[in-house]
Amino acid sequence: MAFAPELRTHAQKVCSLYKQAMRQIESYYGQRNVVRYHQVILRSRFDANKCVSDPKDQRRLYWVGEHELFLTKHPLPIAKFATSVGIAGGVAYQRVIEPPDWVVDYWHPLEKAQYPEYFQTREIRKCEYIAKWYKGEMM
């Protein structure tokens, strides 16, 4: 198995750590003003160390931050959004299915009567589409 080094810069790692910490604060505190208060405190903690230029100190601070994030991890985080993509995504990913256009053709006349301009324009465009199809312009 080949070893591949991580290709993220230190700044990218710190930004990722900051974002994870922000999401964790959202998990712990429900009220918006309380969340904002703790996020401002977190930002000041990050800003206090932004001028550190020694790479060893930078790595040490990053590891300390990761360790603190791990120790204070919320048991039921809410940071996963319902429509997130991927394996660790949300529970509602691709749940909203948009019906195809032909479904509207089977609406009841009383339902169609609620949107007369739309269905009038739709019928005109359907006729134009069918005419183009038979002329061979759609291929």
CA distance 89 to 82: 7
CA distance 66 to 80: 19
In a domain, 107, yes or no: yes
Domain edge (last residue) among 72, 91, 115: 72
In a domain, 78, yes or no: no
DSSP H or E run through 65: helix 55-71
CA distance 136 to 122: 21
In a domain, 80, yes or no: no
In a domain, 85, yes or no: no
Cβ(120)–Cβ(110) under 8 Å? no
**The two three-digit tokens of residue 99, written as one number:** 């019906």
Instruction: Compare 3 and 103 and report the one with higher pLDDT.
Output: 103
In a domain, 116, yes or no: yes
Same domain, 65 and 106: no
Same domain, 9 and 68: yes
| Cα end-to-end distance, the chain, whole Å | 50
Domain edge (last residue) among 23, 53, 72: 72
**The two three-digit tokens of residue 4, written as one number:** 């591949």
Q: What is the pLDDT of residues 76-114, one digit of tens each?
A: 777 566 766 665 566 777 777 888 988 999 999 999 999
Residue-range definition of the domain harbouring residue 126: 101-135
Q: Average pLDDT over the chain, rounded to whole?
A: 87
Averaged pLDDT for residues 45-73: 94
**Please, which pLDDT band fits residue 121 given cuts at 50, 70 and 90?**
very high
In a domain, 84, yes or no: no
CA distance 102 to 106: 8
In a domain, 50, yes or no: yes
In a domain, 94, yes or no: no
**Please, which pLDDT band fits residue 19 given cuts at 50, 70 and 90?**
very high
> What is the predicted pLDDT for the residue at 32?
85
Same domain, 13 and 63: yes
**Please, which pLDDT band fits residue 139 given cuts at 50, 70 and 90?**
low
Q: Which of 53, 55, 21 is nearest to 40 (CA)?
A: 21
